[in-house]
């Protein structure tokens, strides 16, 4: 009965392989470290031994970095370090939540459009194109202004603005994947459409979406900073990097540290997410060994 026993050598499981490849990717590890660092700071904000970010000290207005205030103080004597730490929360939350909104709406719509095609696809795709016609940041600003200024509304506005990218990306990936023989093989064994979508389509379109999500978090953090800079995001006195930059621009000559720290942090966290995204893209590619 047995025609020929065949052996497969002991290869690592795919998860281990992905991790191994990711680890060997120096810039991805750097990106990961940056992201972990900022996430840790944001999470630890309540227990770090730093002053209240809203407490003013009229004796120390616009003081340069010193032993008492490591990053200096701002125009009403608040500690910049503590505002930076609490601001990290706003920035990262805005990045992650708005992208979560975009993925949660965009991926299912993209899968439906790509898999079923026809009228469903036509309607979803035309709406997507209409949204894409407006530049990302302009759309986010318009939506945030319409919803009213608050951090939550800024996240919703950024999330909706980022949704079309995910619809388009997912739809394209699904169109590529659905003609693969293995999708036909799922139909041949009588797998219900629901399970074809969740077992065959979704896992195979996920890697590029994951990469895009990481890169979009970076964009969303910049967008939140921009909205806060314009007064449409985090409301005073709660700190955010964007609103700190907004204030700091008035004191660039007298107190450059006020602008330097938020600027540097935005730069580093965005760099971190971008490097992480690039690393994930390489590590998740199943064809490369």
Which spans of this chain sit near other proteins (rule: CB under 8 A)?
Answer: 1-9, 11, 13-14, 180-182, 184-192, 199-200, 203-204, 286-289
- Residue closer to other proteins (CB basis): 157 or 177: 177
Report how far residue 22's alpha carbon sits from residue 272's, in angstroms, rounded to the nearest whole number: 14
Q: What is the smallest separation between the CB atom of 199 and other proteins, expressed in angstroms?
A: 7
Which of 47, 28, 147, 142 has its CA nearest to residue 89?
47
Q: What is the smallest separation between the CB atom of 288 and other proteins, expressed in angstroms?
A: 8
- Residue closer to other proteins (CB basis): 6 or 253: 6
Report how far residue 185's alpha carbon sits from residue 196's, in angstroms, rounded to the nearest whole number: 10
- Residue closer to other proteins (CB basis): 2 or 47: 2
User: Is 187 within 8 Å of 124 (Cβ atoms)?
Assistant: no
- Residue closer to other proteins (CB basis): 204 or 228: 204
- Residue closer to other proteins (CB basis): 1 or 133: 1
Contacts of residue 165, defined as CB under 8 A and 6 or more positions apart, other chains included, come to 102, 106, 132, 212, 216
- Residue closer to other proteins (CB basis): 121 or 224: 121
Q: Which residues pair with 272 in a beta bridge?
A: none
Q: What is the smallest separation between the CB atom of 1 and other proteins, expressed in angstroms?
A: 6
Q: What is the smallest separation between the CB atom of 3 and other proteins, expressed in angstroms?
A: 5
Q: What is the smallest separation between the CB atom of 187 and other proteins, expressed in angstroms?
A: 6
CA separation, residue 150 to residues 113, 147, 218, 244, 246 (Å): 33, 9, 20, 15, 16
Is the bond into 216 cis (omega within 30 degrees of 0)?
A: no
- Residue closer to other proteins (CB basis): 131 or 191: 191
Q: What is the smallest separation between the CB atom of 137 and other proteins, expressed in angstroms?
A: 36
- The residue to which tokens 């629901």 are assigned: 194
- Residue closer to other proteins (CB basis): 200 or 257: 200
Q: SS3 of 55, please?
A: coil
Taking each helix axis from N to C terminus, what angle separates 26-44 and 80-116, rounded to the nearest 10 degrees? 120
DSSP calls for 143-170: HHHHH-SSHHHHHHHHHHHHHHHHHHHH
Q: What is the smallest separation between the CB atom of 106 and other proteins, expressed in angstroms?
A: 21
Q: What is the smallest separation between the CB atom of 226 and other proteins, expressed in angstroms?
A: 38
Report how far residue 148's alpha carbon sits from residue 151's, in angstroms, rounded to the nearest whole number: 10
Q: Return the structure tokens found at 131.
A: 């949204």
């Amino acid at each position: 009965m047995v025609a020929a026993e065949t052996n497969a050598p002991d290869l690592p499981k795919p998860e281990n392989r992905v991790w191994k490849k990711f680890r060997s990717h120096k810039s991805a590890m750097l990106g990961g470290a940056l992201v972990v660092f900022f996430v840790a700071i944001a999470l630890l904000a309540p227990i770090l031994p730093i002053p209240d970010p809203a407490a003013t000290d009229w004796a120390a207005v616009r003081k340069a970095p010193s032993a008492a205030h490591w990053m200096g103080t701002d125009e009403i004597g608040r500690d910049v370090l503590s505002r930076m730490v609490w601001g990290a929360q706003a920035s990262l939350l805005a990045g992650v939540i708005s992208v979560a909104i975009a993925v949660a709406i965009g991926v299912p719509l993209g899968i439906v459009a790509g898999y079923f095609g026809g009228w469903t696809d036509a309607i979803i795709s035309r709406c997507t194109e209409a949204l894409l016609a407006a530049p990302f940041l302009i759309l986010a600003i318009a939506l945030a202004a319409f919803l009213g200024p608050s951090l939550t509304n800024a996240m919703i506005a950024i999330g909706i603005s980022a949704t079309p990218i995910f619809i388009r990306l997912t739809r394209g990936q699904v169109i590529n994947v659905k003609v693969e023989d293995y999708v036909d093989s799922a139909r041949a064994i009588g797998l219900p459409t629901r399970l074809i979508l969740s077992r065959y389509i979704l896992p195979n379109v996920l890697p590029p979406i994951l990469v895009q999500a990481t890169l979009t978090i970076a964009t969303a953090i910049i967008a939140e900073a921009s909205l806060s800079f314009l007064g449409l995001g985090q409301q005073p006195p709660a700190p955010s990097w964007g609103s700190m930059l907004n204030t700091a621009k008035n004191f660039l000559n007298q107190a450059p540290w006020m602008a330097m720290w938020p600027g540097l942090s935005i730069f580093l966290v965005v760099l971190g997410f971008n490097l992480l995204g690039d690393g994930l893209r390489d590590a998740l590619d199943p064809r490369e060994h």
